[in-house]
Amino acid sequence: VRRQSAVASTRSYFTPTDALLLLVVIIWGSNFAVVKATVEQIPPLGFNALRLALACPVLVVIARCSGTALPQRSDWPHLVGLGITGHCGYQLLFVLGLARTSVTNSSLILGCLPVTVLLLNAVSRRREPVGRWQWAGVVLAIVGVYLIVGVGAQVARETLSGDLLIIGSVWCWGWYTIGSRRLLQRYSPLQVTACTMATGSVAFLPFAVPSLISLDWSEVTWWAWPATAGSGVLALSLCYVLWYTGVQRLGVARTSVYSNLVPVVAMTVAA
């Protein structure tokens, strides 16, 4: 039944789920500037640990209050793998990369997510059917993004390490998106996101402990705290659930195309 509703939604021209994904685009696009400014106050790994520490309990509490049951024991290895990939691996590479490159470069690289998702889908055992027009649409969308905001991108020795880290984060996010499909046929986006974020946060913590211990908390300006909280609750808790809602209802190909709009918002906010 769920699969049929997803197919039906995919055939619709514009659905409420598409509107939710546009909200994700706005929040994630704005988040680039927030993260870039905040990691100048708080070390990247420490910053990400703090926002995971805020986002994870919020999701877990909401899941418990809504009566959401724990997944079956047989699904936990899959959930742990997704958590390590999508919350530990992706966030680790993303925050370290953004600290070493520009908002333009990082947002444009992340705009390549649709192609990454389609390539991973093509080699997946549970591949989702993707037509020629979807491939053409993804390619045209990426070309359009580069024509709009790609003029400001720079490839230099100073940003190369950051660019490579962002590329790695794209592949982590692609696997996180593709790997969720079987679980989303059995569980809600809230269940999957809460469980993967909990396991991913535990895996991320050892990387962040040294930077949190060495941080001089008195030197952090006041605005960095609401920025960290907003980035955690909105860009992580809310947007991850909405993203998986899109994957469940619209499919990975259509959902991933929305990442093409993130660079446009990111450059508009950073301008």
Mean of the pLDDT values across residues 264-271? 83
Give the pLDDT of residue 43: 92
pLDDT band at 235 (very low <50, low <70, confident <90, very high): very high
Any domain includes 111: yes
* Residue 9 covered by a domain: no
For the whole model, what pTM was predicted?
0.81
pLDDT-derived band at 144, boundaries 50, 70, 90: low
Within a domain: residue 129?
yes
How many other C-beta atoms are found inside a 10 Å radius of the C-beta of residue 212? 17
Mean pLDDT along residues 133-162: 63
Give the type of residue at 66: S
Tell me what pLDDT residue 28 has: 95
129: left (phi over 0), alpha (psi -120 to 50) or beta: beta
Is it the case that residue 9 has pLDDT exceeding 50? no
CA dihedral sign of residues 233, 237, 241, 247: positive
The better pLDDT of the pair 24, 185 is held by: 24
Full residue range of the structural domain in which residue 59 is found: 23-270
The answer to the question of residue 13 being in a domain is no
**For the residues 227-251, what does the mean pLDDT come to?**
93
Residue 245 lies in a domain: yes
Q: What tokens appear for 39 in the block?
A: 């990691």
Residue scoring higher pLDDT (146 or 164): 164
Residue 210 in this model has a pLDDT that exceeds 90: yes
Looking at the 3D structure of the chain, how many domains does it have? 1
In a domain, 3, yes or no: no
- Mean predicted confidence (pLDDT) in 70-97: 94
Single-letter amino acid code for the residue at 228: T
More confident residue, 3 or 27: 27
Confidence band, pLDDT 50/70/90 cuts, at residue 100: confident
Using alpha carbons only, what angle is made at residue 67 by residues 65 and 71, rounded to the nearest 5 degrees?
Answer: 120
Q: 139 near 111, Cβ under 8 Å?
A: no
| Structure tokens given for 186 | 């059995």
pLDDT in tens, 10-69: 455 889 999 999 999 999 999 999 998 999 999 999 999 999 999 999 998 998 888 888
Per-residue confidence (pLDDT) for residue 6, from 0 to 100:
44
pLDDT for 7: 44
Q: What is the mean pLDDT of the chain?
A: 84
Per-residue pLDDT at 175 exceeds 60: yes
Residue 141 has pLDDT above 70, yes or no: no
- Reduce the DSSP state of residue 80 to 3 states and report it: helix
Q: Could you tell me if residue 75 is inside a domain?
A: yes
**Alpha carbons 48 and 50: distance in angstroms, whole number:** 5
In a domain, 15, yes or no: no
CA distances from 218 to 53, 214, 215 (A): 20, 12, 9
Q: Which residue has the higher pLDDT, 4 or 109?
A: 109
Mean pLDDT of 77-90: 95
Say how far apart CA 205 and CA 144 lie, in whole Å: 38
Could you give phi then psi for residue 43, rounded to 5 degrees? -50, 145
